Structure 1
């Protein structure tokens, strides 16, 4: 008989995690309050780009994945893994409402000997100070009756080169025995499991990883603005700099960071630091740069069009998900950018092969066909998300003006006037020798 685990939250982290356990012979009880997700799984279909219909079909048909909204089923599991959203409030403070709801519900169904692991990104102390008291409301004590720990998720949606199982897994428990139990469980799925001294250290590990990316992406965006003023191509500069075999890691400019981690985790760290009378000036300044990028791009588009206003202009935005090859629009800078274009009086259309519709304020938009006609009538085509399947040649052959925030058009030629973020306002002419390693 196969071992059984539970996964609460079947989103971008939880569903791939459940399938990773199934691949190692486990049965998984997946709990989610979103009934549409449950119905989709019951129909043997996937709702995530990184998860195939075939994988879901095999798991459901073989009764290895039980998708339900019923917490009572979790009594059958030896371990329960929490993969719930931990977004920011409107005031940019931690929103643990999902975790609080799950913790309270879980406390009513826990049984002796179960292991609970939190994977959601959060501030240091959450596992011990927030989740543990909730779980103990049912009368079971952590370290004696049940076991509790933290392991930060490291999934990278849209990146097939790093599957979940080969990314080293950082783990820690409230007690030494808690840590041992997490190590034993995760060692059956992940190629490398790395214990750290406390849940707080594991929680902070995740915040460090994403704060590092947040600060460096914000820095390279500031550098791009500097390159605009210098009329030097930042894409060429980065390509040259990364030929150095040590001491440099390439980061790339864009419309701002998005998703459930990079724009969120640093603010969890900042909030946690502020509680103790401390502050990160790097995070504070990086946040200001990140939030300024959509406004900066709007101003650059105005400059490209040679007009102080966008009223009456037609803007075609290409890509609205926060990163390439996924359908996730959480914290996407594209939505902020589209809002600003609309506020300027522009007519805004968009195309995204992964996102069929979005809501901007009170306006619901549907993805438009990327046709020669739609490209030709737009006053400006703005490339926001660098999906790998975009027909760049079609875009450059039929658009009048392309503002490229991702550097995708390097190496391509067409009829369109092309201006890239971080390269001044002159028409761009690609330089090929660095791109081909010559």
Structure 2
């Protein structure tokens, strides 16, 4: 992606009611970078993401952690480095069902060795005497004196004798260390086991359990106030009067936030009365870590979030991104504040581009979106001065198909997508077959 100017610039002037969906400005047109206003350039995607990171950095302090048992820590972010308290594995053990042997007892052509008492998993093995072979199970301790394991399928006969018998077994030559898991071969005591900020999935929790750890210190989930705005927006299930639309943003963003591990306090839909919105934000601000609004952040005549933020340390600007250009960022009564545009796709793309990756980087949760490379199944055009994010479907053949157009109101296309397709600033057109970066959803 090409970095544009990083100055804090006001957003473009949009008609806040031009969209078929939520207020907050239309950001679907192919405009030149200079359209945002004379003498100003839009902020780059990277620069705005860094601003969001700086805004939330203080929330990653050591006092904002909690200890959880492993079974409750799935999906959480590790708050501090963990050092292995023991070797893993804690003792040398067998990688196979077979015979524990001294490799020097078996010449190149193989030999017969007397079979001694078997070694089951969990038992403490007696020392192995020269000229003998001990049946050993997978995971069982290697007896003192032994240095290799011959798999049972290579023995003649290829089965274990009855316990207590005085049978012999013919074994092929083997090398020192074959099929032996040495103590500490996975991780040694005192070595780093997991780094702070790691997202705790099944593999990470399994490692901690294998090290004997029962509790882990993780970052607390952030509590977010989510406020949807607009006189034209009504709750689903209400009568849909002329000029009104159902609120998709509340459900869309709440689901995305909960999926990302956030605790969401969802406020009632705010009207376009700035005093009412200010009062609502002020009421809930002391109880949350972050405020997120949708709509009302462009430069139209009825941008309620802009008006409600008067006197607050909040900036409204335009990011060189489509959809999701108009953005707000700062603090409301000292609480971190992020204002997203009102169109449904715009607000979700804003969450995925700015808030989700910052949460992942600072708190280890949620896990980052997997980024892959895929080839376009069809040609695509993009405004050269903007980072365009299109919705698409990754197909079994490794190509990615566009779903719907660039419009930020196309919720049906979003619902039928499994990926976000990135067309960086500076890209005006790509042919079918061109390789692009894709984030899988």
TM-score by length of 2: 0.24
Which structure is higher in strand share?
2
Structure scoring higher RCO (CA < 8 A, sep ≥ 6) equals 2
Which structure is higher in helix share?
1
Choose 1 or 2 for highest CA Rg: 2
TM-score by length of 1: 0.24
